Structure 1
Amino acid sequence: MSKREEKLDDIKKSVFSVRIARKELPEIGELVIGTVYRILEHGAYVLLDEYGGLEAYAPINEIVQSWFHDIKDYLRPGQKTVFRVIRVDARRRLIDISLRRVKEEEKKEKLARWKRTIRGVKLLELVAKRLNITLDRALQDFGWKLEDYYGDFLSIFENVVKYGPVDLRKLGLSDNVINAIMEVAKERIEVEPVEISGIIRMINIKPDGVKHIRDVLLKAMELARKEGAESVKIYTIGPPRYRIDIMGRDPKKLEQVLKDVVNLVTTEIKRRGGEASFTRIGE
């Protein structure tokens, strides 16, 4: 195999062989992700990533801004970029596309979505391997259904890590599919930490009231850490008001931690002859 043939083969391998799009052919006006395959004097042949490597053609007048420019000033073999579909011959499966008719903001938005799609599809491919089925089968059996519900493929795994498999069960997925998705999500998705905050108002008019308040707040911080909060901060914003910030990666768990902390503070300060109330920030 010549170096040119090896280059073309590498370009083909960079494109999903499975059709990710629901329909077999794109529509006129649709923005598509294309990988530049061959560049000729009169135009460029492009493989459409979302359509399993379906070949499309970009005429030179739909690439260059003027006849004084060369196609290679705009495209290079192996480059992935955004094109607009300008012609579809469904019978002959011929697609013409344009680079010039794509606005810069459209290109940025499409590429950002595609980046998420690529990562999500690769995770779905891992799920398919665990289920001993093909990616194409996974897409047809449950992938596209989940994409409809969550908005994109990557969001499937992000939401599962944050909120668990409740929605997956609502959608009627089998236990083995749910378990495979959960396993891949936990292994591959790193959830950004979230923070919840509130204001505790605490009063104790005893001579040693300040000591009681300090002791209660220290107990509250100890409890939050014990229950799994990654970070806990309690500080005065002007007595008798104290702010509490709790950070972690599991929103549901954080809510329970905050609830337990508030319960400890109100119960403990009351036992010590004081009183306390709580106001959530952001609600």
Structure 2
Amino acid sequence: MDSDEEFKSGALKANLNCRFYRRIFPKVDELVMVEVRHVDQVGASVLLLEYNNIEGLIMLGELSKKRIRSVTKLTRVGRQEVVVVIRVDESKGYLDLSKKQVTSENIAECEAKYNKAKAVNNILRHVAQTTGTDIEILYETIGWPLYEKYEHALDAFKLAVVEPDTVLEGLTMTPEIRQSLLKVIKNRLAPQPLKIRADFSVTCFEYEGIDAIKAALMAGMELANENVKIDIRLIAAPLYVIVLTTVDKNTGLNTASASLKRIADEIKSRGGNYMIKEGPHILNATGDHDLEEMIQKQSNTNKVISDIDEDNDETMGDVDIGIDVNEIDAKNASSKPDDDDDEEEKN
């Protein structure tokens, strides 16, 4: 039986529906996410998505603080809403809810809570499908204990990417479930690398201008390590771009700023000039594509590229110096007095 057949077989055997939390019913004043099932002149009948779709009711007077002319203008079937629980009768299974008492801050808070809990549910649901285990058993043995041990089960799963033994210690599960759980956690929650970009210009028209620029760029590269990769490329002289690749946003931004400061300090100490064109910022997919196009275009132009020592650490990336030697020579020549003219003046 191949993996697809095993996946389908497990899905048929296992119960895949369960509430997100250990409590069967929500508490009064709790914010919950619901989906509207039916709307009439009495109010809106809804399903509580975090509580295995148990039913609740939003009475007409709890839909809006404003005068209601038409219920259908306030909500509609299939729409997800954030509501607050105002009454719970567990013996009869009655839940009264309110939409009008919910603020914009409440909506953002509830959506964040729901999305995190849904991510946990999706992970456990996948494990239930692949192993043929009822999802409620997985919540009993894994999900709910992690909710109690950590601030949130999703936080525990993220930590399990790097510290699986610590997070899963004391939890009862078969080797098959453990292997399936760790696999789906790593696939879904492993941090994705991001790119941080900044644009700057460096010039130096001193006699050893090329070496000065090279030294400045290499000074910026020295901050690269196993967690942050740094590349510096020429866009069009004297404009350069520095790109850092890392999984931590704050670390990347701080390293970018520190690297640029090193470049500025080094080039100025050698008589050159530095100017920031665009500060460090997160590079999105569109910006990444545009950057690659610029680099590709520049690689087709005539430029001299300084050699970099081959024994540089791999994490340091690449430096494309792109210095126009003729430009520097011309500048230097213009700054020197003409020997023949000096002789004529003396004569």
TM-score by length of 1: 0.62
Q: Deviations over 1:226-259 (max 9, x none)?
A: x786546765453599xxxxxxxxxxxxxxxxxx
Secondary structure at the aligned position of 1:50 is classed as helix
Mapped contact 1:81–1:111 kept (Cα < 8 A): no
The structure-2 alpha-carbon separation of the partners of 1:231 and 1:148, relative to structure 1 and needing over 3 Å to count, comes to: farther
What is the aligned-residue RMSD (CA, Å)?
3.9
Structure 1 residue 158: Cα displacement: 2.5
Mapped contact 1:83–1:98 kept (Cα < 8 A): yes
Structure 1 residue 134: Cα displacement: 1.4
Give the corresponding residue for 1:27. 27
- Larger RCO (CA under 8 A, 6+ residues apart): 2
Mapped contact 1:36–1:47 kept (Cα < 8 A): yes
Q: Deviations over 1:197-220 (max 9, x none)?
A: xxxxxxxxxxxxxx9xx89x97xx
Q: Deviations over 1:24-60 (max 9, x none)?
A: 1222211111111000111111111111111111110
Secondary structure at the aligned position of 1:192 is classed as coil
Secondary structure at the aligned position of 2:64 is classed as coil
Letter paired with 2:166: D
Say whether residues 1:46 and 2:46 are aligned partners. Answer: yes
Q: Deviations over 1:65-91 (max 9, x none)?
A: 334432212111011111111112222
Give the corresponding residue for 2:157. 157
The structure-2 alpha-carbon separation of the partners of 1:36 and 1:121, relative to structure 1 and needing over 3 Å to count, comes to: same
- Gap regions ≥5 residues in structure 1: 1-15, 196-210, 242-260, 262-283
Structure 1 residue 18: Cα displacement: 1.6
The structure-2 alpha-carbon separation of the partners of 1:239 and 1:122, relative to structure 1 and needing over 3 Å to count, comes to: same
The structure-2 alpha-carbon separation of the partners of 1:190 and 1:230, relative to structure 1 and needing over 3 Å to count, comes to: farther
Say whether residues 1:80 and 2:80 are aligned partners. Answer: yes
Letter paired with 1:164: E
1:164 & 1:79 partners in 2: Cα distance?
Answer: 39
The structure-2 alpha-carbon separation of the partners of 1:239 and 1:50, relative to structure 1 and needing over 3 Å to count, comes to: same
Task: Tell me how many residue pairs correspond in the alignment.
Answer: 216
Give the corresponding residue for 1:193. 193
Say whether residues 1:59 and 2:59 are aligned partners. Answer: yes
1:28 & 1:230 partners in 2: Cα distance?
Answer: 50
Structure 1 residue 142: Cα displacement: 1.1
The structure-2 alpha-carbon separation of the partners of 1:180 and 1:67, relative to structure 1 and needing over 3 Å to count, comes to: same
2:133 & 2:34 partners in 1: Cα distance?
Answer: 27
1:27 & 1:47 partners in 2: Cα distance?
Answer: 16
Give the corresponding residue for 1:238. 265
1:67 & 1:237 partners in 2: Cα distance?
Answer: 63
TM-score by length of 2: 0.52
1:87-102 equivalence runs, <5 A:
87-102=87-102
Structure 1 residue 129: Cα displacement: 2.4
Mapped contact 2:50–2:114 kept (Cα < 8 A): no
Mapped contact 1:36–1:44 kept (Cα < 8 A): yes
Mapped contact 1:17–1:53 kept (Cα < 8 A): no
Letter paired with 1:53: N
The structure-2 alpha-carbon separation of the partners of 1:94 and 1:231, relative to structure 1 and needing over 3 Å to count, comes to: same
Mapped contact 2:20–2:117 kept (Cα < 8 A): no
1:175-194 equivalence runs, <5 A:
175-193=175-193
1:243-282 equivalence runs, <5 A:
none
2:108 & 2:228 partners in 1: Cα distance?
Answer: 37
Structure 1 residue 172: Cα displacement: 4.2
- Gap regions ≥5 residues in structure 2: 1-15, 196-210, 233-258, 270-312, 314-347
Structure 1 residue 103: Cα displacement: 1.3
1:229 & 1:194 partners in 2: Cα distance?
Answer: 10
1:21 & 1:72 partners in 2: Cα distance?
Answer: 31
The structure-2 alpha-carbon separation of the partners of 1:184 and 1:230, relative to structure 1 and needing over 3 Å to count, comes to: farther
Letter paired with 1:167: T
